[in-house]
Structure 1
Amino acid sequence: MTVRVLAAGDHFVLNRLLIDAIRAEAPSADLAFTELTLPWPVEPFGRVAEVDEASGTEDQLIEALQGAEICVTQMAPLTRRILKASPDLRLFGVSRGGPINANLEVAAEHGVAVCNAPGRNAGATAEHTLGMIMAAARRIPQTHTDLHTGQWRSDYYRYEAVGPELDGSTVGLVGCGAVGRRVARMLSALGAHVLVYDPYTDLGDLAESVTLEELLTRAQIVTLHARVTPETTGMIGAPQIAAMPPGAIIVNCARGALLDYDAVCDALDSGHLFGAAFDVFPEEPIPPSSRLLSTPNITLTPHLAGASKQTAANAARIIAQEVGRYLRGEPLAHSANGLEKPFVRN
């Protein structure tokens, strides 16, 4: 029996990557593919009905999903309206770590399993984090800009203007999941002493587990890797930043909700912090009036930490493996809405 699959890729996780990965995972399956290319990241994602960080419209998905049993995507919305109009859909594969573009509860009510791709961008994000640490510590963006404007700033060599080396520095990781573990290994290899605050993780000899309070008072560089939960939202605010050593650096390539950015700007303006580097923000894109754009010694990138060719390939591979499990009647490995076991297929 032919199974219809909608590949709703975009300009990062391409349809050809999704289709090739599924064919490699299920070479003997009788599959009929249709394609829809969503506009992200050429056009920003946004809210679609009741889901967030989605690309495309409900009408587009409703039309493309007619007769489809499986949909693989990164950014396509899965809303109450789409689910009601797509009775053949049984598996919705979201090739990203957090499937917030899907209404998980309503999908479960309709018998549609939603799966995701945890860890797809762990390597890319870890490398970007390391680059951001170095950029902040060595003033790379500022000196690059100065040269482009005709300034040869040898005064950056003043003792009070130079930052620390990683070799011999103490670096604190707040949260240590798939990304944090990689960052810890990289830092250890460069000679840093790594502290970790994560109640759910023990890295053994790789890092020293400490309380958050101890990490903040000891680390010259603090980098955030926690998930956003009610407990972690706003976990680093003005009191925590004040507890950091003078001349410290803070980096966030995780989620903007973890950190009070105004408190960081205050600490940079006062000279308490040496530098900061951010890939994520409380509001994206950053508003033109944001202090982040005028406060000195901040390195900024536009939520690109996970952007690598390997991330796109990993995303397609992980979701293709879930499609293979579904086709073989096996439990899903990365169910996002509780439907892990095989279910009746049309």
Structure 2
Amino acid sequence: MSTRRHVLAIVPAHVGGRAAGTALAATFPGDAHVTVVESAGEDPAALREAHAIVTALAAVDAGHLAAAPRLELVQCASHGYDYVDTAAARARGVTVCTIGSTGAEAQNVAEQTFALMLALAKQLVPAHTALREADWALPRLQRSLTELSGKTLGIVGLGQIGREVARRAAAFDLRILYTARRRVPAETEERLGARHVPLDELLAASDYVTLHAPLTEETRHLLDARRLALLKPTAFVINTARGALIDQDALADALERGALAGAGLDVFDPEPPTPSLRLLKAPNVVLSPHVGGVTRETVVRIGLAAVRNAADFLAGRPPRDVVN
């Protein structure tokens, strides 16, 4: 890699900021010149010089791309890429990559999915809150407690993360349905014990629905009011993918009416969520601040995967996980 190759590492404050970006920059090969910022427009000179951008959930839009005449690559430090204008990048000949095939986040997001499912099924948050207030809530809570065993889990998206969820579901004796843009090979379905069905059928049949699809124009508000109405009133919705996959107002309506049993949400639209977001006060919701892909272990794996792919690209080697 030439010493003239410039990299812009963008890590916004809500996912670690400059300190995390500096740690990420330190993993680049020594001949890369890396500038760390918290937003793409923070340092216009560095943006003009950048041959590659590595971004951790920070927006890279058409304006940023136009201001970066040397740019060749936008590397997302995530499985998703909805925060990058991929159409504008394609028009300018800029490659966009993720870390999707590395599975760097998959294991932890799958664990977070089950943490939310179990918290809802076992009413852990209201039970914890009640006991803190010296309220022995067993008589009240037992009417809403449920179990995973023998229930149907609907997985929307069977990529790396969806497959990790399916693998764990077998241990809970869950029946698995899935829907995806492309049906997986029959041997994969057999190994995971997963049956492919259309989305509407999945929603109507599932006791738990978990989202693991990328956010695109086609999947935005994938669960809208019509589709949420297909769910059983005893069903739970889990979202550890992207907040905008669900119409958040429609979900709040369903929860407030008692048309759904509950929701476990690790992602929001926008992030961080605004204080006025109705889901923050909706009944029987378990919330976490987009921590599904973040542990001490996964942060290292994600950063290294993104840096390796960017370094390969800049060195003239074929990159992985090109999305545009």
Please classify the TM superposition score into its range, dividing by the shorter chain length.
Answer: 0.7 to 0.9
- 1:134 CA displacement: 0.7
Cα contact 2:8–2:47 (8 A) shared by 1 = no
Question: Larger radius of gyration, structure 1 or 2?
Answer: 1
TM-score (norm 2): 0.80
Give the secondary structure class of the aligned counterpart of 2:283: coil
Shift of 1:140: 0.9
Name 1:190's counterpart in structure 2. 172
**CA spacing shift, 1:140–1:77, aligned 2, 3 Å:** closer
CA deviation vs aligned residue, 1:281-326 (integer Å, no higher than 9, x gap)? 3444434333323322111222222222333222222223223423
Unaligned runs of 5+ in 2: none
Distance 1:102 1:222 in 2: 27
Counterparts of 2:58 and 2:207, CA distance in 1? 41
2:148 counterpart of 1:148: no
Kept in 2: contact 1:116–1:319 (CA 8 A): yes
Per-residue CA deviations over 1:51-95 (Å, capped at 9, x if unaligned) read: xxxx25x2x432335655444343566556655665554444332
SS across alignment from 1:208: strand
Partner of 2:9: 8
User: 1:62, 1:82 within 8 Å by CA — same for their partners in 2?
Assistant: no
User: Amino acid of the residue matched to residue 244 of structure 1?
Assistant: L
Structure 1: unaligned runs, 5 residues or longer: 24-29, 39-54, 338-346
**Conservation of the 8 A alpha-carbon contact between 2:206 and 2:231:** yes
Which amino acid is the alignment partner of residue 145 of structure 1?
A: T
Q: Name the amino acid aligned to 2:170.
A: S
User: In structure 1, how many angstroms separate the alpha carbons of the residues matched to 2:145 and 2:268?
Assistant: 26
Corresponding letter in the other structure for 1:147 = L
Equivalent residue runs for 1:136-285 within 5 Å: 136-158=120-142, 160-163=143-146, 165-202=147-184, 203-205=188-190, 206=192, 207-285=194-272
**Separation in 2 of the partners of 1:77 and 1:238?**
28
Q: 1:14 to 1:312 in 2, by over 3 A?
A: farther
* Structure 2 residue aligned with 1:334: 321
Moved more, 266-275 or 195-204: 266-275
Structure 1 vs Structure 2: percent identity of aligned residues? 34
Change (3 A) 1:210 1:307: same
> 1:16/1:137 Cα in 2 relative to 1: closer, same or farther (>3 Å)?
same
C-alpha separation in 2, matches of 1:116 and 1:242 = 34
Closer/same/farther in 2, CA of residues 145 and 321 from structure 1, 3 Å limit: same
1:36 aligns with 2:41: no
What aligned pairs does 1:15-164 form with structure 2 within 5 A after superposition? Answer: 15-20=22-27, 22-23=28-29, 31-38=31-38, 55=39, 58=41, 60-65=42-47, 69-74=51-56, 78=60, 86-104=68-86, 107=89, 112-118=94-100, 119-158=103-142, 160-163=143-146
Per-residue deviation, 1:120: 3.8
Are the equivalent residues in 2 in contact too, given 1:61–1:82 (CA < 8 A)? no
Counterpart of 2:301 in structure 1 is 314
Alpha-carbon separation, structure 1, partners of 2:204 and 2:301? 37
Q: 1:26 maps to what in 2?
A: none
- Supply the distance in 1 between the matched residues of 2:148 and 2:221 (Cα, whole angstroms): 27
Q: Is this contact kept in 2: 1:141–1:299, CA < 8 A?
A: yes
TM-score normalised by the chain length of structure 1: 0.76
For the Cα contact (< 8 Å) 1:9–1:15, is it kept in 2? no
In the TM superposition, residue 332 of structure 1 has moved relative to its aligned partner by 2.2
RMSD: 3.0
Aligned-residue offset at 1:18: 4.0
Alpha-carbon shift at residue 232 of structure 1 (Å): 3.0
1:42 is matched with none
Contact kept? 1:117, 1:315, Cα under 8 Å: yes
Deviation, 1:186, is 0.7
CA distance in 1 between counterparts of 2:137 and 2:204 reads 32
